[in-house]
Amino acid sequence: MAPDIQTLLGANPSADSMTVFLKDLAQHASASLTAPEVKSYSDAVYFNYYILGISFLFIPQKGYKPTGGLKREHLKDDSLVLDSINIYNAPKPKATPEKSTTSSRTAELAFSTYPMSKWNLSISPEASASNESSIEISLTTTGKDFVSCLGEPDRKGGGAGPSSGSIGIWCEWSKHGIMVEFGGDEARGPQAWERGKDAMWRVITVFPPKQE
């Protein structure tokens, strides 16, 4: 059985837990596990698995400073630590696909939808609105669903400006290590926060919980 996604945090790219998790994910996607697209910078290295709808952000440790444009085989795995994970719910084209394309960040359009139809994220019962120890995520989980389980977010933003060019609303629950960016017309424009309860998630970022 593949490890829980949050237990991967702190692992290096070649850890067994990473390998098991990715192989399981590839099976759910009915895809062969291929090497990720790597984007390296001196302070961050991204592993993008577009067909699996997931991206890993590794932070260099021990004084390691990767150069730009490194290939996968040239990275020093033992000096990289998984800092956060992005999970994608690819937006479905509307009747006017050109509108949805221009209002989404180009880089995100390359990602397929995460292949798990339902999965859980562990949360802190003491800091949740429901006293639950986990939240179940599906591809149709909405803003209202997140708030009813996690409570009001610690940070939030987005939703301002004209609907054609604004960024979607986002919420962060720092104590749980969860940030959610919402998609669709409900998540953009001047009334986005009124309609946001019905907006479905577009990107979920998982990171180590932050204590105040």
Per-domain boundaries in the chain: 5-87, 97-206
The DSSP secondary-structure symbol of 21 reads H
CA–CA dist 84, 75 (Å, integer): 18
Summarised one tens digit per residue, pLDDT across range 100-149 is 444 445 566 789 999 999 999 999 888 888 888 999 999 999 999 999 99
Block residue for tokens 């604004």: 166
- pLDDT for 150-197, tens place per residue? 999 999 998 765 544 567 899 999 999 999 999 988 888 778 888 888
Q: Is 184 exposed, middle or buried (0-12, 13-18, 19+ CB in 10 A)?
A: buried
pTM: 0.89
Q: What are the respective helix, strand and coil percentages of the chain, to the nearest 5? A: 25, 25, 45
Contact at 8 Å (CB) between 178 and 194?
no
